[in-house]
Amino acid sequence: MKNELLKGMRFTNIDDVRAAVGRAIDFYNNERPHMSIDMKTPAEAALCVGEIPKCWISYRENDIRANQTAFMWSKMT
């Protein structure tokens, strides 16, 4: 967010910083689509039920699922 929305901005007081960060957070959460949540905004994704498809492969999530499956199989045997 810093590089994408605040880069190059100069501030003279903390109130200006707070206002700019607030606008950046609002944009990030309500207007900017994210590949990690199927090109939805975080606000849209929060309303979804169940797993949200991704526009990329999450090797971390795949590893977590594989370990959970292996753990469940070990408990069954």
pLDDT in tens, 20-73: 999 999 999 999 999 889 899 999 999 999 888 877 777 888 888 888 877 677
Please state the length of the chain. Answer: 77
Confidence at residue 30, expressed as pLDDT on a 0 to 100 scale: 97
Q: Which residue has the tokens 């590949």?
A: 35
Q: Which SS3 state, helix, strand or coil, does residue 50 take? A: coil
pLDDT tens by residue, 1-24: 677 778 889 999 999 999 999 999
Confidence at residue 77, expressed as pLDDT on a 0 to 100 scale: 62
- The pTM (predicted TM-score) of the whole model is 0.63
Q: Where are the domains of the chain?
A: 2-76
Q: Which two tokens stand for residue 59?
A: 């090797």
Q: Which SS3 state, helix, strand or coil, does residue 67 take? A: helix
